[in-house]
Amino acid sequence: MAVNWQPLQENMFDAAGGNSAFYRQGHYVTGAAQGYLIDKKTAEHYHITNIEQLKDPKLAKLFDSNGDGRADLTGCTPGWGCDTVIAYQMKAYQLEQTVSNNQGNYAAMMADTITRFKQGKPILYYTWTPFWVSDVLKPGKDVVWVEVPFSADPQKTNTALPNGKNYGFQVNNINIIANKQWAEKNPAAAKLFAEMKLPLADINAENAAMRAGQSSEADINRHVDGWIKSHQALFDHWVTNALH
């Protein structure tokens, strides 16, 4: 499996047997972030850098899409891990009076959010990377991450980054994991799993292509072959290292 999130899924990994059951070496993807974003135009015009500022009803009202006077946050699909954290944070940051945490089908809610952005309206949403959303709404160009006033999540973890910024969620690594016995019998494959690394931006772009309709098995194989061809020397280096 190529999508083991660490530390987000560490409890699940440990419960399934952890390092005694699985081979997990190297990081396939690094810097996988989650958090809250708003459109850059509104952020700059109103100097919004922290979600706590939305306790101000005047600022919150900017992101109101249904006329109730409260900011509409595009949240998570109910039952997802992020859903629990967002609900916890809305309470911890005292935003329940001014922000509506909208839950539902995430893809459908984000489609509405993107439409609002294209109409020039303010948007407020949660997302994670790597995912297609950050290829459509590019952080730094179209949207900006907003900080949280302090760490608050059900696990009581410190979410502050080394540079002092705090986006409310720990930055994760995404790892390839394999059955430990299988990995021991196939050392070249195990070494390849430890060597391989993919840039976040490339995954965002491929997810966006899938969302645009290129989602069949043949399409995905074509994406893979295209990536390998344009990174042939790196790919060959991985394979050579794995075989030695």
Nearest to 2 by CA among 29, 22, 21: 29
Per residue in 218-235, pLDDT (tens digit) is 999 999 999 999 999 999
Query: Does 142 lie in the same domain as 39?
Result: yes
CB atoms within 10 A of CB 24: 20
Query: Does 39 lie in the same domain as 24?
Result: no
Whether residue 57 is contained in a domain is answered as: yes
Domain boundary, last residue among 146, 181, 214: 146
For residue 126, what are the domain limits?
Answer: 34-146
CATH number, domain containing residue 52: 3.40.190.100
Q: What pTM value is reported for the model?
A: 0.83
Query: Does 214 lie in the same domain as 189?
Result: yes
Query: Does 237 lie in the same domain as 185?
Result: yes
Query: Does 181 lie in the same domain as 134?
Result: no
Which DSSP helix (H) or strand (E) runs through 173?
strand 172-175
pLDDT of residue 24: 98
Whether residue 166 is contained in a domain is answered as: no
Per residue in 55-106, pLDDT (tens digit) is 999 999 999 999 999 999 999 999 887 888 999 999 999 999 999 999 999 9
Domains held by the chain: number: 2
pLDDT of residue 155: 79
Domain boundary, last residue among 146, 162, 194: 146
Nearest to 8 by CA among 110, 61, 80, 78: 80
Query: Does 237 lie in the same domain as 136?
Result: no
Query: Does 88 lie in the same domain as 39?
Result: yes
Parallel, antiparallel, or unpaired: how do β-strands 172-175 and 143-146 relate?
unpaired
Mean pLDDT, rounded, for 39-46: 98
CATH number, domain containing residue 233: 3.40.190.10
3-state secondary structure of 116: helix
Query: Does 123 lie in the same domain as 72?
Result: yes
Percent with pLDDT over 70 in the chain: 100
